[in-house]
Amino acid sequence: MFDLFVAPLTETYFQKALIGGSIVAMVAGVVGCLVVLRRMAFLGDALSHAMIAGVAGGYLVMKLFFGLEAHAPGMLLGSLIAAVTTVALISFVSRISRVKEDTAIGIMYTGIFALGVVAVSIFRHYIHIDLMHFIMGDILGVADTDLWVSAFVAAGVLSLILLFFRHFQLSTFDPIMAASIGLPVVFLDYLFTTCVSLVVVSAVSMVGVILVVGLLITPAATAYLLSDRLDKMMMLAALFGVTSVIGGLYLCVWLDSAGGGAIMLFCTLQFLVVLTVAPKYGLLARWMRLRNLVPQQVVEDVLTTVLRNGKPASPDLIRKYAGEGKGLQKALRRMVQDGLLRHEGQDYSLTDKGEKEASIVLRAHRLWETYLKSIGTPEQEVHATAHQLEHLDQTQTLAYLDKKLGSPKTDPHGKTIPTK
């Protein structure tokens, strides 16, 4: 046990991966919440792919003009410029032409990615970037400069989001109102896109172009299933991001697998677990809700059966009038839980609450009978039709019937109509 958990922690590469990964995952989770809510997941993908052109450009410029080899800040700046250019091109194309935004994203990011790939291969004698390294990432080989870059990016982006939390919340939730109270909506959009680009750029060296979008949206989507407030969602997303990195790194050491892949695998598993067990929006909760659903009609039939009986009714009697089957057992159990029925030995009797609801339904039934009779419905159909009509939701209709019939005291069979 000790070896499994503590031994990796003593290795420098593991410590760096843990620190760098956690920082990146935390800020990616927070920013990802807004990405998910703005339905921009595809854009995150686009940004990460566009970066390769920026990295190549930055590398070339620094090398040709300043003679610096693999200058990290230069490449970072280059990828940022590439990302923002991509976004600008996307919104330009989708605004002025009939091409829709998702198509525009697809065109622009593959185009700029291709530009990057071509540039890297043409200048392969000058540019010493391993494309595979870029595409897959290498979290176990994180350099100190990468750590510093991601720390600064995280600090900057997190302070922006915290400081302008309300602005981002409102412009995401209701951009029209945001504009109407004078928030600079377009500027906020660009500011946010820049934040996403920064996060993507700082994360790519660790998990690679393909997986970075997962780090952005999966923890956020996991948190989305658990929270009804944006601030809580952001905190949870940050937490899930960090746990993915920790879990994924151990997985990668134990299985001796690729680092980025292990992290995203753990992150996805985490999402699937939450999707299953989330208390409100989870699959299990949904299944339980559906299972506990009892048709209102059965409930009402049971209520009136017991009320008509006048004394505690046996299960057999209820079955005779309110229908057969497993559904009835479930309904009876549920009604006892809800405080409508009470056990009396083997039999069931109405609680006060149950009696009140039962007399409402019975009143509906008998008023309908009176009305049906008054419009000349044949004797043998009166009961059956009223039995159907009594289940409608109908406070106003009943008030109307009552008034129209002159508030009758008894139904056509001479039975008392319960008062309200």
Partner 1 sequence: MTTDPPFAIEVSNLTVSYNARPALLDVSVRIEKDQLVGVIGPNGAGKSTFIKAILGFVKPDLGTVKIKGIHAKNAKGQVAYVPQRGAVDWDFPITVQEVALMGRYQQIAWYSSPCKKDRDAAMEALDMVRMANLAHRQIGELSGGQQQRVFMARALAQGSDILLLDEPFAGVDAATERAILDVLERAKKSGKTLVVVHHDLSTAAEYFDKLLLIKQRLYAYGEPDIVLQEDLLSQVYEGRLKIFKDVIKKERN
Q: Which of 76, 140, 154, 170 binds partner 1 (CB under 8 A)?
A: 170
Closest CA to 53 of 87, 88, 83: 83
176 lies in the binding site for partner 1 (CB under 8 A): yes
Q: Pick between residue 6 and residue 176 the one whose CB is nearest to partner 1.
A: 176
Tell whether residue 92 is a contact of partner 1 (CB under 8 A). Answer: no
Q: Is 376 in the site for partner 1 (CB under 8 A)?
A: no
- Residue keyed to tokens 């995203």: 264
Q: Does 181 participate in binding partner 1 (rule CB under 8 A)?
A: yes
Q: Of 104-163, which residues contact partner 1 (CB under 8 A)?
A: 163
How many Å apart are CA 367 and CA 33, to the nearest integer?
55
Q: Which stretch binds partner 1 (CB under 8 A): 78-86, 167-175, 306-314, 360-368?
A: 167-175
Smaller CB separation from partner 1, 122 or 177: 177
With both helix axes pointing from N to C terminus, report the angle between 283-292 and 259-277 in degrees, rounded to the nearest 10.
20
Which ranges in 174-314 belong to alpha helices (H)? 175-180, 185-224, 230-255, 259-277, 283-292, 296-309
Q: Which member of 5, 10, 98, 144 binds partner 1 (CB under 8 A)?
A: 98
393 lies in the binding site for partner 1 (CB under 8 A): no
Beta bridge partners of 342: 349
173 binds partner 1 (CB under 8 A): yes
Element (H, E) at 416: none
- Per-residue binding string, partner 1, 209-228, x by CB under 8 A, is ---------------x--xx
Does residue 47 sit in helix, strand or coil? helix
> What's the distance, Cα to Cα, between the start and end of the chain in Å?
70
For the beta carbon of residue 345, count every other beta carbon within 10 angstroms.
Answer: 8
Is residue 195 within the footprint of partner 1 (CB under 8 A)? no
H or E stretch at 342: strand 341-344
Window of 61-69, 169-177, 197-205, 338-346 that interacts with partner 1 by CB under 8 A:
169-177
Contact flag: residue 3 with partner 1 (CB under 8 A): no
Q: Is 1 in the site for partner 1 (CB under 8 A)?
A: no
Q: Measuring CA to CA, which residue among 135, 143, 131, 197 is closest to residue 17?
A: 143
Identified binder of partner 1 from the candidate list 16, 49, 63, 167, rule CB under 8 A: 167
- Window 231-250: contact mask with partner 1 (x via CB under 8 A): -xx-----------------
Check if the beta carbon of residue 137 is closer than 8 Å to that of residue 207: yes
Positions touching partner 1 (CB under 8 A) are 37, 98, 163-164, 166-167, 169-170, 172-177, 179-182, 224, 227-230, 232-233, 396
